[in-house]
Chain A
C-alpha cells in the first residue's frame, strides 16, 4: 500500500465513522432517549369509556362536569362511581377490583392524570370550554371509542405526563385567537 492509498482508506473510514456516529446519535436521541426519559405507568383499574357511553348511555358531563361555582371537577370522585357501582355491574376483573378495593373501603381511586398542568399554571376549563366554546378534543385525546385506558408516560425528570400541553402550544393558540399572552394570564 502506498502512503496515498493509506490516506484514502483512512479518509473513507473516517467518513464511515462519521455516518456511524451520526446515525447512532440519531438512534439514541430519537429511540433510546424517549424510552429512558419516560416511565410507563398503568391506571389502578381499567376504565372503559366506550361502554359507559354506549351501554350506560352516559354523557361526558356526567363525570367531567363543572361545579356550581364554575370550577371544573376534572376526574370524578369515587362518589360519582358509587352512584351506579355500589355493587359490581359486570364480571370483568376491573369491576371486581373497583368494588372490593375502592367502593367498599370507601377509598378514592388514585387515577393518574394524563394532562395535569403544573401548580404554577392557572388554567381555567371554564374560560376555554364555556367562554371560548372549545371542544374537549381540541386539547385532549378522543376517548369516545376507547375500551382500555392507555398507560401514562411520565417524564422521569419532571414528573409530568408526556401528553401535557407545553407552554408554546398555549401561546400559539392564544396568539391565533387574539387572546392576551401576558404572563399573568396563566401565571398568577
Chain B
C-alpha cells in the first residue's frame, strides 16, 4: 500500500468536508471578527448605579449650573445643564458638555513640576513633591521680599474668591502688580467709572427688552453668559406669550449672530461706535430722546449735542460706516420708538478691552432713550452680599508696595484711570521701564497663546526671573514655566462662581468636587494659604484660615447673615420676571442649612436689590450721568473737550496700506474655545472642513477679492502682517467684505495634547495690539495684512 497523490487529495478533501460540517470555520470567522473589535485600548465604561451631582461649570465666566452623572460615584460619564439653575435653565453649551474631556484628558498635570533645564523643554521638567515645590517658592519669595514689587500675577479669572486670594497675597507681600487677562470688562468698568461714577459691570435686562441693538457683540456666540444668551434668544424668538424682540446686529463680518438677527448692519471695519453716535444724532436732533432723564439726570448734554451735530450727522456717519443714510435714520427712529430697547457693547465674546469711547458711545445711546436702570434696559450688576474677609495685615514692605507705581502703568501719570493693562505691563517689561518683574504667577490663564499680539509677551518672558504656573493643564504658558503648581480641575474642587457678565440679578454659584482629585493636585486657594503661612509675618497673618474651604465659608456666611435670596432648587425659575427689587423669602434657616443646600443645588439667587433710581444711581461729580465726563478730568486726563465726550476716533490698524492692502480681523466662534483651556476633541469635531482641515486653518476671503488675486477655495496662502507670517488656506465666503479677511482665534496651540496641539494657526501671533492713548487699553480688532499664494 502506498499513499499516492490521489489518496492524499482524498484525505485532505475528507478533512475539508468534515471541517466545513463542524462549527470550527464559522465560529472562528465570527469570533475573529469580534476579536478584531476588542483591542486593549478600547475604552470600556464603568458599570454600576448612577448618581447625579449638581455643580457649576467654570470653563468660562458664564456661571452655568450643570449636572454630572457618575457611575458608582467615582466615574463621571456625562455633563448636562441643571434645569434648576436660573442662568442656563438646563441649557448647556458645547464646551460645558465636553467638560469631562478636561477631567480625563491627557494634558492634565499630575504632580508639581520643576524645570531643571532650559525653559520649554518638557524632558527636563522634573516631578517634585508638594513640600519641595512650596519650599522652593517660599525660599524665592523670602529672598525677593526687599524687591516685593517685582512679583507680578496675572489671573485668567476676573472675579471670585480664588482671584481675590491671589490679589490679597500680592497686597500683603507688597506688590501692586495683580493683573487680569484683558477683556471687554476693562473698558466697561472704566466707562462706568467715568460716566456713572462707580466702576463695576453692567447687567442687561435682556429678557425684558423689546429691541436689542448689538454693536459687535456676538450675542449668541459666547458674549456674556453663553447659555443665558441662548435662552434669551429662544425666548425673543419663539415665546408665543410675548412680542417678538427685534434684534439688530451691527458687525462687519456676516457672523452667526448677524445671520440670526432680524437685521444685519454691515458697517465698515471698526466703525460700530460711529454708527451708535449717528443714531444718537438722529434721536437728539429729532427730539426723540427721553426728556425727563436727559434734562434732570445728565450732565454735558449740550456739549454732546453740539458734537453730534458737528460730526455725526447721517451723511457723515454714512460716509464713515458705509451704511445708507436712510437706514441710519430709520434705525434711530425705531430704537427710540421701541420701549424698552437696549444697546449692547463689548466686541465679540468680550475678550478685547476695546476703546472706552466705543463703550461710551453705545451706552450714551442707552442713556438718551432712558434705558439706564430701567426694566428691559441696562443697569449695574447687583452685588452678592458676601461677608468681607478681615483686612490684610500690612507691614512696612506691604505699605511700600501700596505706593509703588503699577508695572502696567495704570493709575499712573500716563494712564491715570484704574485700568488693567497687561499689554502695557508686557511693553514696560520689554522696554525695561519702571522696575524689573522678578517673578510672574499665571493663574488659570494662558497668555503665551491667548494674548493678542503674543510675540512681545514671549519676549518679555526672557526678562522675567521666574515663571510660576497654577494651571491644571500643560498649556502653552505652563510648558514655559519654571515651577508648576497644578490645581485640580473645576470638577474636583470647591470654588465659588460669581455673577456671570451681563446678568441683571444676583447669583452665587458653588462648584464642588464631584469626585476625588485624580492626581497629586492641590487647590490654588490652599496653596496660597500654605505659602503665606510658610512665609509667616504679616503675609501669614493675612491668611488666618486653615484651608480654602474655611476661607470660602467665611464669605458665604454673609449670604445667610443678609437673610436674602433663595437656593435655586426647582426648575423654571425666572428671576427676571416681575422686575428687580422683589424680596424673596429665604428657603434656608441658618448658615449651615444654606451651605448644605448650596452643596446640593449649587446656586443661590436674589432679586431683592432693585435697580437704582435715577436720583441715586450716579456718583459722578454732578451726581448725574455724564455725557461730558468730569471724572476723567478729575483723575488727571488732559485733553480738549472731545477727550471727555463720547466720540469716534479709531486707532488706525497697524501696517502701511500700501504694503498690506487688506485688513485682517480676528473672530470668535462657539466651536473654538478662547479661554485658558484648549478646544476639547468633541468641539474640534464640530468644526467645518473650511475652518480646520487636518492641521490647516482657513482665512475667510470674499469671492471677489479672491478672484482678483487668482485664489480658489482651499488654496494655500501666507498671511503677512508687520508682526509675522502665518500659512493658512483660503475659504471663500460672502460673510467677508472685499477689503477684509477674517480668521478665527483659539487654534494653533503649541501645547496640550495630540488632539489639539498643532491644529491650525494662532491668529494672535500676527495680530498687532495697539493702545488707546487715553486709557492705555489694548485694541486689536484689525491689523493690516498682505496675502500671497504659496
Contact = CB atoms under 8 A, between A and B. Distances in A.
A42 interface: no
Given A17-B10, A73-B49, A22 B15 contact: yes
A18 interface: yes
A155 B31 contact: yes
Interface of B: 1-4, 6-8, 10-19, 21-24, 27-28, 31-32, 34-35, 37-38, 42, 44-45, 47-50
Contacts of A28: 18-19, 22, 24
Contact of B45 (A26, A77, A119, A155): A119
Main secondary structure of the interface of A (DSSP, over half): helix
Interface stretch (A124-132, A144-152, A156-164, A171-179): A156-164
B24 A21 contact: no
Given A22-B14, A119-B45, A29 B23 contact: yes
B10 A21 contact: yes
Contacts of A33: 22-24, 27
B15 A25 contact: yes
Nearest to A158: B34
A41 interface: no
Interface string A71-82: 101100100000
A3 to B, nearest CB: 13
Contacts of A67: 49-50
A21 to B, nearest CB: 3
Contacts of B42: 119
Contacts of B37: 120
Contacts of B13: 18, 21
Among all A-B residue pairs, the 9 with the closest Cβ atoms: A29-B22, A25-B18, A21-B14, A22-B14, A21-B15, A18-B14, A17-B11, A29-B24, A18-B10
Contacts of B35: 157-158
Nearest to A6: B2
Given A67-B49, A158-B38, A19 B14 contact: yes
A74 B38 contact: no
Interface in A26-67: 26-30, 33-34, 37, 67
A17 B17 CA distance: 12
A111 interface: no
A165 interface: no
A13 interface: yes
A97 B38 CA distance: 33
B496 to A, nearest CB: 30
Contacts of A15: 10
A11 to B, nearest CB: 8
Contacts of B34: 118, 157-158, 160
Contact of B17 (A25, A69, A71, A120): A25
29 contacts: A9-B1, A10-B1, A10-B6, A13-B1, A13-B3, A13-B7, A14-B10, A20-B11, A21-B14, A21-B16, A21-B18, A24-B14, A24-B18, A25-B14, A25-B16, A25-B17, A25-B18, A25-B19, A25-B21, A27-B18, A29-B19, A33-B22, A37-B27, A69-B50, A71-B49, A77-B48, A120-B37, A157-B28, A158-B35
A71 B48 CA distance: 9
A23 interface: yes
A34 B24 CA distance: 8
A25 B1 contact: no
A157 B28 CA distance: 9
Contacts, number: 101
A26 B4 contact: no
B8 to A, nearest CB: 7
A23 B28 CA distance: 19
Interface of A: 9-10, 13-15, 17-30, 33-34, 37, 67, 69, 71, 73-74, 77, 118-120, 155, 157-160
B67 to A, nearest CB: 13
Contacts of B3: 13, 17
Nearest to B15: A21
Nearest to A34: B23
A74 B7 CA distance: 57
B49 A22 contact: no
Among A25, A33, A74, find the residue whose CB has the most chain B CB atoms closer than 10 A: A25
Given A17-B14, A159-B38, A25 B22 contact: yes
A23 B48 CA distance: 48
Given A33-B27, A37-B31, A22 B38 contact: no
Contact of A23 (B18, B45, B50): B18
Contact of B47 (A24, A34, A74, A157): A74
Contact of B4 (A10, A19, A73, A158): A10
A77 B48 CA distance: 9
A76 B661 CA distance: 72
A20 B12 CA distance: 10
Contact of A26 (B1, B2, B8, B21): B21
A24 B50 contact: no
Given A9-B1, A157-B35, A21 B22 contact: no
B22 A30 contact: yes
A28 B24 CA distance: 8
A155 B42 CA distance: 18
A120 B7 CA distance: 49
A36 B3 CA distance: 31
B43 to A, nearest CB: 8
A80 to B, nearest CB: 12
Nearest to A17: B11
B23 A21 contact: no
A119 B45 CA distance: 7
Contacts of B15: 21-22, 24-25
B110 to A, nearest CB: 27
Contacts of B12: 21
A138 to B, nearest CB: 22
